[in-house]
A and B are shown apart, each in its own frame.
Chain A
Amino acid sequence: MRSKILRALAAALLVGAIAAAAMAPLAPPPIRGPSTTIANWS
């Protein structure tokens, strides 16, 4: 049981790290406007 919990914890850390490092979804709900405006890149 202990090994399963450790395994789950390690998997959670790995999945979280992969998501944070490589995924870039946009979750827009709080419409509070932009915090930063920078030069137009496009």
Chain B
Amino acid sequence: MTLLTVYLVCALVGAIIALWRAPAWPRYNLLLAIAAAPQIGHILGIRISEMFIVSVVAMILWCLCNYRIAGVPVVASGAALNMLAMAWHGGAMPVRADILADLGYHFDAGVLLEGSKDIVVHGSPLWLLSDWLPISTDVVTLIVSPGDLLIVGGVLVWLLFSRTPESERERPMLAFHTPVAPSEKRSRLTPGHSARPALTRLALLAAADPVLAERLLRDPLDAADAHPHYRVALDARDRATLAAIRARARTVGEFLGELAAEVDGT
């Protein structure tokens, strides 16, 4: 049951981070439930080797459906490493007997460990992918695999960095919290009097077109060069300014505000 507690703690940490900031939401999450069910059954002692294939297929499909979301490719890499090692050992994760012995647990090879997905082995061609990294705390001792670490990293990337301007736009309740900077800064633009005419033109185009503003936030140089109707000729100084603004700004509002400040020379 310790392992289920570990999963619950992971879920709790995920919930806390999601309270703070909204991640992009993956699709087809029923596939995850299908992938998880046989694995939970394995932990509870219901071991059906064939069901491991169901887990693998469902996990692969979920990753393919969501590979564009930040963090999912990392999760997919970790899952692939784990599942490769598990597939080699009939659906159970190998853990070396000598590593267990170092921690004070003595088992013979071939033993399936209660409340886990693990099988004790003397050695494995894929031992580098197996559970061999002990993490000891006062509360619990965990032996994890490189794949587990990748999955944790991928989930953190997903929770912390997957939010995009597009996902904000899809959520009006969140967009409500966007600062009113765009309209405020827009009023500060003074076309015709700026020492930066190209940036002025770009700022006015961006202020008039939210889609262009979002493209500018993602890749300002490309978006400025590739406007469908109005060509904006940027010189090297303009490009450097745009790159610097892009590095500082996290939202469209911040980007337009910074751009307006540059145009007005403030």
| Bound CA span A4–B6, Å | 24
Interface residues, chain B, CB within 8 Å of chain A? 2-3, 5-8, 10-19, 22-23, 25-26, 29, 32-33, 35-36, 39-40, 45, 47, 55, 58-59, 75, 78-79, 82-83, 86, 89-90, 92-95, 100, 103-105, 107-119, 121-124, 131, 140-145, 147-148, 151-152, 155, 159, 173
State whether B119 touches A41 (Cβ < 8 A).
yes
State whether A41 touches B90 (Cβ < 8 A).
yes
| Residues in chain A near residue B11, CB distance under 8 A | 12-13, 15-16, 19
Cβ contacts A to B, 29 pairs, < 8 Å: A7-B22, A8-B16, A9-B15, A14-B29, A15-B10, A15-B159, A16-B14, A17-B36, A19-B155, A21-B39, A22-B147, A23-B10, A23-B78, A23-B82, A24-B93, A25-B6, A25-B131, A25-B148, A27-B142, A28-B116, A30-B2, A30-B115, A34-B107, A34-B111, A34-B112, A36-B111, A36-B112, A41-B121, A42-B124
| Residues in chain B near residue A42, CB distance under 8 A | 89, 94, 109-110, 121-124
| Bound CA span A12–B114, Å | 25
Whether A27 contacts B18 in the complex (CB less than 8 A), given A12-B12, A16-B10, comes out as no
A24's partner among B105, B148, B159 (CB-CB below 8 A) is B148
Whether A27 contacts B140 in the complex (CB less than 8 A), given A11-B23, A15-B13, comes out as yes
State whether B155 touches A18 (Cβ < 8 A).
yes
Whether A40 contacts B110 in the complex (CB less than 8 A), given A3-B173, A24-B93, comes out as yes
State whether A38 touches B142 (Cβ < 8 A).
no
A23's partner among B19, B33, B148 (CB-CB below 8 A) is B148
Among residues of B, the one whose C-beta sits closest to the C-beta of A27 is B2
| Residues in chain B near residue A13, CB distance under 8 A | 11, 29
State whether B144 touches A25 (Cβ < 8 A).
yes
| Residues in chain B near residue A12, CB distance under 8 A | 11-12, 14-15, 18
